[in-house]
Each structure stands twice: as structure tokens, then as C-alpha cells.
Amino acid sequence: MGVKKSRSRSRSSARVAAPLILWWCCACAVAAAAMAAAGGGGDEHRYGGAKYKDPSQPLNTRIDDLLRRMTLAEKIGQMSQIERENATADVMRHYFIGSVLSGGGSVPSPKAAPAEWVRMVNEIQRGALSSRLGIPMLYGIDAVHGHNNVYKATIFPHNIGLGCTRDPELVQKIGAAVAHEVRATGIPYVFAPCIAVCRDPRWGRCYESFSEDPKLVQQMTSIISGFQGEIPANGRLGAPFVSGQHNVAACAKHYVGDGGTINGINENNTIATFHELLSIHMPPYYNAIIRGVSTIMVSFSSLNGVKMHANRPFITDFLKTKLRFRGFVISDYEGIDRLTTPQHADYVLSVKLGILAGIDMVMIPYTYTEFIDDLTLLVQNGTIPMSRIDDAVRRILRVKFTMGLFENPYADPSLAGELGKQEHRDLAREAVRKSLVLLKNGKPSDKPLLPLPKKAHGSILVAGSHADDLGSQCGGWTIKWQGLTGNNLTAGTTILDGIKRAVGPAGTDVVYSESPDAGFIERNKARFDYAVVVVGEHPYAETAGDNLNLTIPAPGPAIIRNVCGSIRCVVVLVSGRSLVVEPYLGAVDALVAAWLPGTEGQGVADVLFGDYGFTGKLSTTWFRSVEQLPMNVGDAHYDPMFPFGFGLETQPLKA
């Protein structure tokens, strides 16, 4: 009876509940429809119907949603990258600027601390976010061997030295360290790495290349995984990837063939068959894309007479279509201006050629209003289809969404301590040690000179223009675009400092003479057990470094002759490439290629005095005379002074 009564109550409740449930469902459906019409519910309601603001939405949904909301002016603004000194809040908001850069040496103030950088970047970002759609700007900077614009940053060896380490894992760690230092100043994007394959040391950018060998450059693309983070095992290879707020978006450059120009002349013409291009200059880009590189920068140079900034077959057809690169393509600094002679002579034509070739973001530091006006006209008159604009903006937005810029547009001031921290300097010092290449050690009739004894019977002489010059050992792209000489540009340890620290505990007297003449040597030669002569190139970058004779600059040759003619000596050559050394080779007891070691000169002393052994191997061919150039490993008439891969080794001294 009780059971029946219970069932009766249940049926009665059901009869009452059914209409209520039906009414409630209808009400919910009406409400949901109204919310959808008003712009969404749940998370969608929270973001005002803007799916692009909702991080839970799929990537392509966010891109599509934002793209359909954008006006032509907002799209062209996203394609514009301007110099930071022009990036006022009003400019960012009014022109919807998508990206800002610091050119070489462009800083908020001399010796600016991280906090000042962060304030500047955040102020620019606030201007961008105050625009109608609130699209964050992307701030980019050259960080080609460390955060090289910034005072007290760790400066690592330039790429040519890193190639001599043959250590992709070390290079990846360097990429991660640089990313931390860049983020310390609030910047999320670097114009690095240069993955050029330098085929001629006369090129002024040869030190930016890891090697003349494409396979070695491919290995060194590990630095991209350092910058951006490792793609997870279940991640999509080939898609832009930045793992977190301690990483930065990278930029592989300069696409393509920049290291193969005639006579090594910067921005000149590279003549190559399709097979040569694919086998020499293109392979590093395959690896860069697989590693998820976010952006690729186009080269100033030409390929078989066609300027790369106007080369649609290689930018759109090959890079984007065949290689399926999904990040964005960026021009070089005022790169489209160079499409006419003289530069900027017909800017409308330059804009047309560059955008139709497939360039997505244009580096226009100063002429941004002209660029925006001209591109707008070209779209409105049908010369450039809207589909080309949408492709460019879609790629830019993909990178911004992928790197989390919409969720974290502002800099994190807590990272300030990452700049120049000891852990990074220790890593740079390790890189210096592993990059040194020992080319000669002892004359035929004598025992090897290296490693040097720390305890000398008399004194040791340190000589040369580069022994006590931090700027010269860092080279170009350090604080200023062309670099600087002297010791007041940033924090670091000169090679002389390193030598003094290495022998100090042994009580050895170090005598430094920057440019000793023959009389000084004759009067004092009996005092010295041996000499360390440090000479080389003065800082340069890009075209200013093009050099058709490649001799050791004065006063280097005179110092070598004066010192090494009377005292057992090791010559440490500080340079961005191989130089003519044959005239001095017989006089010197030992010869070390130190490349451009950066701020941690102690790493040179570590190996000279046997705390560590020499292990570096040449990443480029060391020629005998410039008449042989270009000459690369594998050539039919290969007759170098020191072949690719050469490097004598020593064992560390036991304590």
C-alpha cells in the first residue's frame, strides 16, 4: 500500500513538473538566443561577444572573429612596424600600429636599466590597447649575440664562433638565456637568429653566420628552440610556437641567399641555380620552420637579379605554399624602399611589389604614414586584392595569439634580475672557451707553447690593441649598430682582465703595453718568459664591414713583428672572420682564432692557461690569400691555409 501511494505521488508530481520543465527549457532557449544575438553567453558574454578575446576558443576561431571585425585601416595598421621613438600613444591608437622596433642603438636613454625599458614598452602597449579593438602591439629588437642594445646585458660570442663549438645544445641554452634577458626589458620578439650560410668572408655580415656549411647551420637552428621553447611532443611541427612568458618569438633571417652574394658585397646579387639554392642556402630554413619559428625576415640582397623583397616565387610560392610556413614574413629595415634606384624613388611601386611578393609586416621606422596611405590606395583601386591583406593580417594575428600576447600584453617587471645575471655570464664564458680554435701550437723545432704556465720565472707581456678593449672583443651590434671601441660601453671582462685573474694567484707579474715598439722590446725582452699578443678587427656591421683585402688592421702587424720576433708568443686574433695570416705564421709560436668573444674575456684566459683544453673546430675555411675567394669545403680546387673543421686540441692542465 505504501508503495502504491508513493507511485501515485510520483505520477502526480510528474504531471505538475512536466509543464514547468517545458516552460523552463523554452525560457532558457529564448534567453540563450537573446544572449547569442547580443553577443554570447558564458565566457562569450564575459568578453562582450568577442570570441577573439576568449582564450578558451580555438586559435582559428579567434583569428576569424577578429579579422571579420577589422576595417581596412586596422588591417594595414597591423602590417606596419615603426621605430619606438615614433610610437606615441596617439600614433599607436590612431594608426592601429601592429608592431614597434628598436633599431641598432635605439634605446629609451643611454645606459637605461630594465625598469626604464619596461616602462617604455608598457606605455607604447597602453596606446595600442586603447584602440577600438585593443589589439596588442608586438615589440621587436635585434638580439643577435645577446640582448646587444642593452647596457649590462650578457654579450655572447657572435655566431661564427658559436659554429666552432659544434654544440647545438649549448647554442640552445644560449637562446634561452637571451630570451630571459630580452624579457627582462619587457620585449617579446627578437630579430634573430641569422641563419645565413656565409660563402665568402669578405662579406661584412660573415660573423653573423654560424658556418659556410649548411648542415652545420641547420644544427645551430637549435637556438630557435632556445628562444621560443621546445615544441611539445604532441605539438604541431611547422606552426609558429612560443611556449611561455619567459620565451620570445624568433625571426630567421635573411631569406634567402644573403651569404652568397658576388664578392661578399652586402645587399648584392647572389647567382645560383635552383639546385645550388636548395642545397646551400635554403636548408637552414627547413629546420627553422620545423622548429616553429614565428617570423622570417626577407634579405636586402637579390637572387639572380631579382630583389628578394619583390620575389613572389620564393616568398609566396615556395616559402608560404610549398614549405607551408604559417608565421609572418617581415621586411628588413626600410627594405621595400630599396626596390627602386635611388632608394624610395617610387614608393607606391615599392609598396605594391613588396606586398604582392608576400611580405606581411613592413619595417617602416619613419615613413609609416606614407606607407599606410599608399597601401590603402593600392587596395582601394584594386591593385592589391583584399585577400592578400587578409593573408598578411591572419599570419600576424596567429603569431600574436600563439605567443599569448592577448592574455599577457604587458611586461613582467619581476624579470629585471635576468639581465646580465651570473648564470648567463657563466654560460657565455663556456661558449667562449668552446669557440676558440687553435691554429698553431709551437714551431717545428720547439715544444708546444700552449697551455701557458701560470707561474712564470720572470714577467709575462700582454700586448695589442684588442687585449684591453671590451668593445673590440664584442664587435658590431653591441650597444650601437656599428659597435664601439673602449671599455665604457657595457659591463664585462676584457682578455687582459682574464689573464690577470688567471695568473694572479700564482703571483706572476703581468706587464701590459698596448703597442710596444722595437726599442721597448729590445730593452725588456729578457724580463719576459712569453708574450700574449691580442690584435684584430675593429667593430663593424653590415656594409661597413665589407672588405676585399682582409688583412689584419694596423697596428696589429707591427705589434706581431716587434713582439714575436724576440719573445715566444701566442697571437690571439679577435675578428669576425678569417684574415690573412700567412705572412706572420712563421714568426709566431702559437695562433688562436678567438672570433668576437663578447663580454666574457675570461673564457679566453681559461683555455690559454690550461684550465680547459682547446676543442673548437673551424666553422669556415681559412684561406691563404683573398685571390682564392670564394673558396668553400667541397670545392674542386680547395687549397686552404686551414681547412673547414680544422682545430688543434690540448688537454687541461691538472691542478
The Cα 261–Cα 252 span in angstroms is: 18
Grid cell listed for 514: 698596448
Q: Residue 46: which residues within 8 A CB-CB, separation 6 or more?
A: 54
Is there a catalytic annotation at residue 542? yes
The Cα 536–Cα 553 span in angstroms is: 6
Backbone φ and ψ for 10, nearest 5 degrees, come out as -65, -45
Q: Which of 181, 200, 258, 332 is catalytic?
A: 332
Output the CA torsion 391→397→398→402 (10° steps).
170
The Cα 560–Cα 516 span in angstroms is: 10
Grid cell listed for 290: 620545423
The residue behind cell 665568402 is 200
List strands edge to edge, sheet with 528-536: 437-441, 590-595, 569-574, 528-536, 459-463, 509-513
The Cα 123–Cα 38 span in angstroms is: 33
DSSP annotation of 370? H
Q: Residue 312: which residues within 8 A CB-CB, separation 6 or more?
A: 356, 357, 358
Q: Which of 542, 546, 589, 600 is catalytic?
A: 542
Peptide bond into 444 cis (omega under 30): no
The Cα 200–Cα 212 span in angstroms is: 8
Backbone φ and ψ for 297, nearest 5 degrees, come out as -100, 135
The residue behind cell 615599392 is 350
249 - beta bridge partners? 189
Question: Where are the extended beta strands (E) located within 585-624?
Answer: 590-595
The Cα 304–Cα 291 span in angstroms is: 29
| DSSP string computed for 434-450 | HH-EEEEES-TTS---P
Q: Residue 156: which residues within 8 A CB-CB, separation 6 or more?
A: 145, 146, 162, 174, 177, 178, 427, 428, 431, 598
Q: Residue 522: which residues within 8 A CB-CB, separation 6 or more?
A: 566
Nearest to 368, CA basis, from 142, 127, 99: 99
Q: For residue 149, which amino acid is it?
A: N
Is there a catalytic annotation at residue 54? no
DSSP annotation of 510? E
The Cα 224–Cα 284 span in angstroms is: 11
- 201-203-206 Cα angle (round to 5): 65
The answer to whether 307 and 338 are in contact (CB under 8 A) is: yes
Pairing mode, if any, of strands 302-303 and 362-363? unpaired
Q: Is 507 left (phi over 0), alpha (psi -120 to 50) or beta?
A: left
The residue behind cell 608576400 is 358
642 - beta bridge partners? 622
Catalytic site positions = 332, 542
